[in-house]
Amino acid sequence: MYRLPELEKTRPLNAIALLTSGGDSPGMNPAVRAITRAALNQGIQVFGINRGYSGLIIGDMTELTSSDVTNIVQRGGTILKSDRCLAFKDPVVRNQAAEILKEHSIDGLIVIGGDGSLTGAHLLTQETGIPVIGLPGTIDNDVYGTDDTIGFDTAVNTALEAIDKIRDTAVSHERIFLVEVMGRDSGHIAAQVGIACGAEMIIVPEYEFKLESLCFSLANERATGKGSSGIIVVAEGPRPGLTYRLAQQLQEQGENPGVCILGHIQRGGRPTGHDRVLSSCLGASAVTYLQAGYSDIMIGMINNQISITPLQEVMEKKKSLNPQLVELAQLLHK
Nearest to 15 by CA among 99, 98, 106, 130: 106
Structural contact between residues 177 and 243, judged by C-beta atoms closer than 8 angstroms: no
- Provide the 8-state DSSP code for 207: S
Positions marked active-site: 140
Q: Is 296 left (phi over 0), alpha (psi -120 to 50) or beta?
A: left
User: Exposed e or buried b for every residue in 17-48, given b needs 16+ CB within 10 A?
Assistant: bbbbbbbbbbbbbbbbbbbbbbbbeeebbbbb
Among left, alpha and beta (phi > 0; psi -120 to 50; other), residue 84 is beta
Whole-number Å distance between alpha carbons of 278 and 31: 8
Say if CB 235 and CB 181 are below 8 A apart.
yes
How close are the terminal C-alpha atoms of the chain, in Å? 35
Q: 237 phi and psi, to 5 degrees? A: 75, 170
Report which secondary-structure segment, H or E, holds 43.
Answer: none
Residues 6+ apart with CB under 8 A from 66: 36, 37, 40
| DSSP states along 107-150 | -EEEEEE-HHHHHHHHHHHHHH---EEEEEB-TT---TT-S--B
Residues 6 or more apart from 41 whose CB is under 8 A from it? none
